[in-house]
């Protein structure tokens, strides 16, 4: 079996802290501080997710986690909204 370009599917384990959709694109954040961006799979064994950065996970309320992830994603896009 070919190795997935993103190393693993972020949904393969229970470590996903939060998943949000921003501008029609899914983003996942796991307890290992990794942030993943959903995209088009490139092969049969590719889950389509690519690691786009690291964001420090802290035990916060769900709405705070969503806001924190959204701000992070927006900052990687060069947007201040």
Q: CA-CA distances (angstroms) from residue 81 to 17, 18, 39, 65, 71?
A: 23, 20, 22, 17, 8
Give me the pLDDT at residue 53, please: 93
Give me the pLDDT at residue 21, please: 92
Give me the pLDDT at residue 46, please: 76
For the chain, list residues with pLDDT below 50: 1-5, 79-81
Half-sphere exposure of 7 (CA within 13 A, CB side): 7
The pTM (predicted TM-score) of the whole model is 0.73
Give me the pLDDT at residue 7, please: 54
């Amino acid at each position: 079996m070919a190795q997935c370009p993103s190393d693993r599917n972020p949904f393969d384990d229970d470590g996903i802290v939060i998943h949000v959709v921003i501008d029609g694109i899914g983003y996942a954040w796991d307890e290992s501080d990794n942030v993943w961006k959903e995209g088009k799979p490139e092969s049969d064994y590719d889950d389509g997710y690519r690691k786009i950065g690291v964001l420090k996970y802290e035990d916060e309320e769900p709405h705070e986690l969503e806001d924190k992830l959204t701000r992070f994603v927006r900052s990687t896009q060069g947007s201040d909204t």
